[in-house]
Structures are given as C-alpha cells and as structure tokens.
Amino acid sequence: MNMSPKSRNSKRSGFTLIELLVVIAIIGILAGMLVPALGAAKTKAKVAQTQSDVQNLMGAITTFNTDYGRFPIAKSVRQQLQPVNPNNNAGNPDFTFGTVNADGTPVRDNNGAVIATAVVNPNPLPNASNREIIAALRGLNPDWGNTAWNRNNALNPERKGYLNVKDRARKVNGVDTGEPGAVGGDGVYRDPFGMPYIISLDANFDNRTRDAFYRLESVSAGGDAAKPNRGLLGLSKATGPNSSSGETSAGSFEVNAPAMVWSFGPDRKADSGVPATLSAGKKTVNFDNVTSWK
C-alpha cells in the first residue's frame, strides 16, 4: 500500500543537525550584536548619572559659599595658596581635591598608571582626597583624627547638609573601600566608573577657578589660533594685573566660575601630555572626561 506524501511527512519530527547548527549560529550572531549595544547603553546611563552628580556638587558648593562666604578649604591649606606672580603664571591660587586616595596613596587607572602624575597640585600645595570637602558639604564630623579638616565641624559649624548622596561601602581584605557612584567607607565620593570626582575651588575669590589639570598649557591651549588666550572647553588664559598673558610654559588656564568639578569618564584616564579634546583630528584620552563647565 502506497502512503500519501502527507502521511510520509507526518512521520518526520525535530530538527536535523544542520538545522540546529544554523539556529545556534543565528543566535550567536544576534547575541554578538546585542551585547555591545547593551554595553553602550549602560555606559551612556553612567555618563548621564555622572553629569547629574557633577551638577549636584556644583550646586552644593555654590550654596555653601553663599551661606558662609567662603569655601570648605582648611586654613592650613589656604595659607599655602600662592598668589599669581606677574612674571610667572605657573602657580595655582586655587585648590584641587581628589588628587590622591583617602590614605594618601596615588589614584590609579585600570592599567595601574598613577593618575597623580597627571592631576596634581603644584608645589608647595598638598594633595588631598575629595573626602574632606564631601564631609564638609554633608555636615559630617568624621572620625579621621586630628588631620580631618572638618573635625568638630570646623568648616561647617552649622552642620548643614548641602549634598545629598548615598553611602555604600564594601570590604576588601578587611578594609572599607568605596564603590562606584557613591561615598565609600573611606569617605571618598566616586563616579559611577569608580574614580574619585575632581573638585577645584576658587580659593582667592576672583570668580575664576584654576584646576590642577586643566590649568596646564599642554591640556587646554589651542582653542583659537587667532586668539591664543582662548583655550579649549571654554577655558581662557589668565590676564590682568596679577598674571602674564605671555606665559607659555606651565599653567594659567581658568574657567569663569567659582568651582570646577569633573570626572575621568568611562575610560578612567587623564593625560596631561595631550589636549583636552582633539589632537591631530583624533580624540584624546581626555575627550570623554565629564566636566561641569562645558
């Protein structure tokens, strides 16, 4: 008895080996396309959170200054700030936080390179983590011993809370360390990528802020060939009675603002040897830095 084609086909079930391999290959291709897209979306979300954190920090600093008529910088450090010499604009009359970890060790990127070689306060100014300013902005009196700037609420005697930020800590070899996007057990405020926020304050109250990194000629020069005093990212070279517009060596670029706050961005890096944005038409490692001013 002959079976109809329909009867013969009804006996077949499942997939052949070739069909299974084709399906698996298609799934692999789709996954390969999806994973980078998901990674890019996560990075974009972290950048957006970083931008929000940066603006919140700027708001807290501005309000603190309005209330107290000063910034939360220890007196011992203010006394070391150098007024700009008319004949040498390399000094820094302002102060930058976040140039070291809470224990004074250098900040490093993913490859172990020391960030402090790129972001460092000029001598004789000390380097400090951002935990000092964060504690003052939050109205906290942390138990950091006699070296704590806000000890006994010296910087914020009214104990006002200017900065609302979450705390998160984890133990690594028994030591509390910070996690991305929060203030860690060491008191340091880190961006969503795990690096400390860099915060510079207008310590000499000229409404111009000179950051330890972006002040550098190698980083910020080149905004306009026809106007050499105009720098990248909206910075400008200091001019006037307390500066030398012809200075071209170390650093004199500033922002017209009472503070500068920035993050190393997704690549967790900064390089003081290359411009802030482009070099020879190509993006530099500083290109993805998230800044409060541009």
pLDDT at residue 176 in the model: 55
pLDDT at residue 116 in the model: 54
50 and 58 Cβ atoms separated by less than 8 Å: no
| Choice between 177 and 93, residue whose per-residue pLDDT is larger | 93
DSSP for 212-239, please give it.
TTTTBHHHH--S-TT-TTB-GGG-EE--
Nearest to 290 by CA among 37, 38, 48, 42: 48
pLDDT at residue 113 in the model: 67
Query: What does pLDDT average to over the chain?
Result: 81
Cα(92)–Cα(78) distance, integer angstroms: 11
pLDDT at residue 205 in the model: 87
290 and 265 Cβ atoms separated by less than 8 Å: yes
pLDDT at residue 238 in the model: 79
Could you state, in order of their start, the residue ranges of all structural domains in the chain? 18-291
| For residues 4-11, average pLDDT | 54
Residue pLDDT, tens place only, 52-84: 999 999 999 999 999 999 999 988 888 877 665
pLDDT at residue 110 in the model: 64
pLDDT at residue 10 in the model: 52
198 and 254 Cβ atoms separated by less than 8 Å: no
Residue 197 gets which letter from DSSP? P
95-97 vs 198-201, strand pairing mode: antiparallel
| Choice between 243 and 77, residue whose per-residue pLDDT is larger | 77
pLDDT at 26 over 80: yes
- Split at pLDDT 50, 70, 90, the class of 86 is very low
pTM to 2 decimal places: 0.80
pLDDT at residue 93 in the model: 83
Residue pLDDT, tens place only, 113-158: 666 567 888 777 888 899 999 999 999 887 776 667 888 888 999 9
Cα(242)–Cα(219) distance, integer angstroms: 22
Cα(188)–Cα(142) distance, integer angstroms: 12
Residue pLDDT, tens place only, 260-292: 999 999 999 888 889 999 887 889 999 999 999
pLDDT at residue 66 in the model: 95
pLDDT at residue 3 in the model: 53
pLDDT at 247 over 50: no
Residue pLDDT, tens place only, 168-214: 766 556 555 555 778 988 889 999 998 999 999 999 888 899 999 99
pLDDT at residue 168 in the model: 79
Helices (H), the chain: 5-10, 17-68, 75-78, 131-138, 217-220
pLDDT at residue 139 in the model: 92
Taking the mean position of all CA atoms in its chain, how far away is CA 12? Answer: 62
Nearest to 30 by CA among 38, 19, 41: 38
